[in-house]
Amino acid sequence: MAVKVLIVDDSALIRSLLKDIIHNDPELQLVGAAPDAFVARDLIKQHAPDVITLDVEMPRMDGLTFLDKLMKGRPTPVLMISSLTEKGSEATLRALELGAIDFIAKPRLGIAEGMQAYAEEICAKLKTAARARLPRARPATSA
């Protein structure tokens, strides 16, 4: 059974490149692509993806805030794909603290070629992340 993937990124180019990468892997199935956290929330309810790709910098709600809310309400494996998620960066460490499974840094130059160069790694990390066992949602606590 194919791994259901949801893309969350405000860049139309990145969404398009990731769609192509996912479509080219028979073990992955794209269930949606969202330009922001609010569209993503609706797509998650509708499709229950096995894994989500998530950008850090997005309008209306940044990826780290969304990740925190997601892990509290509906824990889902997340692969961070952002220009801010480089090894050792503050955003990467925070994403991992919040529950992201792994990360890939977006290429800074030659984005289309760079993303294609990462295609195999992205697919492998998506499949690995989808198998992650996450804790159940925490019940809301009143302060």
CA nearest neighbour of 32 among 11, 56, 12, 15? 15
- 40-91 confidence digits (pLDDT tens): 999 999 999 999 999 988 989 999 999 999 999 999 999 999 876 555 578 8
- 5-42 confidence digits (pLDDT tens): 999 999 999 999 999 999 999 999 999 999 999 999 99
Query: The tokens of 11 are what?
Result: 């860049």
Q: How confident is the model at residue 55, as a pLDDT?
A: 93
Q: Cα(92)–Cα(98) distance, rounded to whole angstroms?
A: 10
List, in order of start, the domains of the chain with CATH numbers. Answer: 3-130 (3.40.50.2300)
Query: The tokens of 24 are what?
Result: 């080219």
Query: The tokens of 82 are what?
Result: 């952002």
- 87-112 confidence digits (pLDDT tens): 557 888 899 999 999 998 887 778 88
Tell me the CA end-to-end span of the chain in Å, nearest whole number. 42
